[in-house]
Amino acid sequence: MKVSPQIEQLLNAQINTELYSANVYLTMAAWFYNRDLDGFGNFFLVQMQEEQFHAMKYFRYLHDVEGTFRLETIPTPEQQHASIVEVFQKALKNEEEVTRSTHHLIDMSLQVKDFATYQFLEWFVREQVEEEATMRNILAKLELIGDDKSGLFLLDRELGQRSFEGEAD
């Protein structure tokens, strides 16, 4: 089965968006390592792996439907952040944008009756719910912690436990 040029272009755009997201989280990881918050740094390195995993999932699908991958210039993410809360606000905003582009892709796949792509994208619909929830949950914890240094220390330790599971697909 060969994908339509329109969906092929959108799948490529989505791969590039996922690679951009990976770079966003890599730079956020660096921001935390520079402040000796290694647990937060670890959290964002795992998040980067998640995004690379998403990109590869699209990459494989694109080839399954006889599409061609085209790598675009990936913009450099913003690397200055005023606070820990601001980092997570930006991460949440990034996920919300990824959700929007994922939903647009689903919308277009239905419009052109590309049911294979529509079904492939179901996994990403659930994944984006989780991705947004993860960022919102940590933002809520940071609000509870406020200026409490011991709370921040404990959260850093908790986030240091995160590891990439590499979900089966």
Kindly list the residues in this chain that would bind Fe ion in the complex (CB under 5 A).
18, 51, 54, 131
For residue 132, the minimal CB distance to Fe ion (Å) is 8
- CB closer to Fe ion out of 32 and 57: 57
Name the residue with the smallest CB distance to Fe ion: 54
For residue 109, the minimal CB distance to Fe ion (Å) is 18
CB distance 28 to 85 below 8 Å? no
Question: Rounded to an integer, what distance in angstroms lies between the CA atom of residue 118 and that of residue 107?
Answer: 8
CB distance 102 to 128 below 8 Å? yes
Q: State which amino acid sits at residue 121.
A: L
For residue 83, the 8-state DSSP code is: S
For residue 153, the minimal CB distance to Fe ion (Å) is 26
- CB closer to Fe ion out of 51 and 156: 51
For residue 55, the minimal CB distance to Fe ion (Å) is 8
The three-state DSSP-derived secondary structure of 50-75 is HHHHHHHHHHHHHHHCCCCCCCCCCC
- CB closer to Fe ion out of 18 and 114: 18
For residue 143, the minimal CB distance to Fe ion (Å) is 22
Exposure of 15 by Cβ count < 10 A (0-12 exposed, 13-18 middle, 19+ buried)? Answer: buried
- CB closer to Fe ion out of 31 and 124: 124
- CB closer to Fe ion out of 18 and 156: 18
CB distance 121 to 105 below 8 Å? yes
